Structure 1
Amino acid sequence: MAKSQFYLIGPGAVGKVLARRLQKSGWTCVGVCGRGSAAGRRVAKELDAPYVTSLKEVRLSQGILLLSVGTGQISSVARELAAIPLNWPRISVLHNSGTLDTKPLAPLEMLGAAVGACHPFMTFPRFGSTVRSGSKEDDYDPAFPLVFGIDGNVKGLAACRKVTKACNGVAVEVRGKDRIAYHAAAVLACTLLGANIAMALDILRKIGISEKQAKTAVMAIAQETLANFSEYGIDRSWTGPAVRGDTRTIKAHAAAIRKLNPGTAKVYKLLSDWVMKQKG
């Protein structure tokens, strides 16, 4: 049986994590294409793969072509790749976008390639441009299992499942019409969760609590809440005035927050109303 191999286009936050997991599973990386950054070159060196900066230089005889580029770049990258005379019927092209289906990969599907959307439902921080090689940030790999939202043609779905298994993940089919809502759920659980934490920190700082103490307090209650949700379920472990229907306290909270940050007060009231409606 031929050894599984892949080519990585886009050695960024998502691409390098997936590439490392594939390599640990015994896959071979046969090449990396990036923008020429030092970080991208380090990823290629780590994977023991040649590094190129032009899509015209991509070479893959068979296997997985992993497009870990920005959502807005997928269509143009696919069109440029379609001009390269590769043996496309032996190649599976998978992008990592959470919102897109496989329509942007149509030029490659027309050439016989298997196409798929293979999005890890997980956070991949970029940590800024000053990450040092070998640092904790550079070696980042999520501690929790990866759930992949997959879509594609028959062979593309099979390739998605193969990648998911190699990455020790779980595959869930999310078809085109549902992918935007699916990705919105990820944003609610990640980006907007972070927004709530940032607002809580801002309130504590503005009433005179130190940055260190505020961070300790907020992260402790946030992590304990998530642990309880996971262990006991949300309905059994939700607490607070909105859960109790305590509108007097909610109004007092909103008034106090409004003096510190009117925008945060609006968010607080909106979320409290949502919780009360769910519990009602």
Structure 2
Amino acid sequence: MQTLNIIGAGRLGKTLGRLWQQKGLFQLKSIFNRSYDSALAAVEFIGAGQAAESLESMAEADCWLISCSDGEIAVIAQRLSDKLTERNDVIAFHCSGALSSQVLEVLRPASIASAHPVHSFAEPLHSLDTLPGSSVALEGDSLAVSALENAFTALGCEILTIEAQHKSLYHAGSVIACNYLTALIDLSLRSFAAAGIERNSALKLLEPIVLQTAQNNMSLGPEKSLTGPIARGDLETVATQVENLASVDPQLALHYRQLGLACVELARRGQLSDESAASLIELLSEPMR
């Protein structure tokens, strides 16, 4: 069984460490976090490994997972370079969605890779059950990619291989669909609040339609899933909503209009006529008064 060290065992690192430990895929050796107490907590959550007081005191391992924040990965790799360059059979990888494996170049001759699980690790205990079925985007050296493909497949994940130069564009797609969806829910709640509907009632109202919309998009695609006034070319309704939003919160109106323009382009790929599209674009593009 290969050994594994984890640097930065936060929500993602703890989840992967525990799942791989339970599956018998890796033997956990050392865990290093910003604080020794958090490393001890990670060891307790995973149920294996030893907390390390420093990077330099970590045990030797076959595989090194660097799961700290994006801005720290290059710094950690540099600090780790003396320790890893003594062996050419080591695998080092990170789980950043935005960065490619090239940020770990300093660790060669180790085999380097990036592995990004397309999953929200907001609550590790929940992720233990929900990670299976998620996709993992892999890129890097063939040895590392092959080993990680086996490791994530054993967890029930789907594997997607990409090129290093496309990593940022790939991650932007994830950000738009996931992070921006969260922002959209917040904008929706702000609009409901302006209408006098309290938060819990609004969330209860939104849940079935948001979940159904997401399901429609996954099964039918965006073109067939878009509904509402823009998809119908209902200029009067859109104009009224822009006006009312602007009267209570100009920022809400601005976001509505910007997103509305994206909806017009999507609706044009469906049933929206060129004439209706032109009218909507003119309305939504008008400068705020």
Q: TM-score, normalised by structure 2?
A: 0.85
Contiguous gaps of at least 5 residues in structure 1:
126-136
Match of 1:40 in 2: 39
With over 3 angstroms needed to count, the CA separation of the structure-2 counterparts of 1:258 and 1:85, relative to structure 1, is closer
User: Could you tell me whether the CA contact under 8 Å between 2:84 and 2:107 is conserved in 1?
Assistant: no
Question: C-alpha displacement at 1:87, in angstroms?
Answer: 4.9
Q: Among the aligned pairs, what percent are the same residue?
A: 23
Match of 2:19 in 1: 21
Aligned partners of 1:185 and 1:84: how far apart in 2? 35
Higher helix proportion (structure 1 or 2): 2
- Is 1:120 matched up with 2:117? yes
User: Could you tell me whether the CA contact under 8 Å between 2:226 and 2:267 is conserved in 1?
Assistant: no
Match of 1:152 in 2: 140
Question: C-alpha displacement at 1:37, in angstroms?
Answer: 5.5
User: Could you tell me whether the CA contact under 8 Å between 2:29 and 2:61 is conserved in 1?
Assistant: no
Secondary structure of the structure 2 residue equivalent to 1:118: strand
Secondary structure of the structure 1 residue equivalent to 2:88: helix
Match of 1:132 in 2: none
Taking only aligned residues, the RMSD between alpha carbons, in angstroms, comes to 1.9
* Deviations, residues 66-104 of structure 1 (Å, cap 9, x unaligned): 110111111111111112267532210011111111222
- Is 1:143 matched up with 2:130? yes
- Is 1:248 matched up with 2:246? no
Aligned partners of 1:180 and 1:86: how far apart in 2? 28
Match of 2:284 in 1: none
- Is 1:208 matched up with 2:193? no
Aligned partners of 1:60 and 1:220: how far apart in 2? 50
Q: TM-score, normalised by structure 1?
A: 0.88
Amino acid in structure 2 at the alignment position of 1:225 = T
With over 3 angstroms needed to count, the CA separation of the structure-2 counterparts of 1:39 and 1:243, relative to structure 1, is farther
Question: C-alpha displacement at 1:47, in angstroms?
Answer: 2.6
Aligned partners of 2:102 and 2:136: how far apart in 1? 18
Question: C-alpha displacement at 1:194, in angstroms?
Answer: 0.4
- After superposing on structure 2, the runs of 4+ consecutive aligned residues of structure 1 that deviate more than 4 Å are none
Match of 2:9 in 1: 11
Question: C-alpha displacement at 1:210, in angstroms?
Answer: 1.7
Question: C-alpha displacement at 1:246, in angstroms?
Answer: 1.8
Match of 2:107 in 1: 108
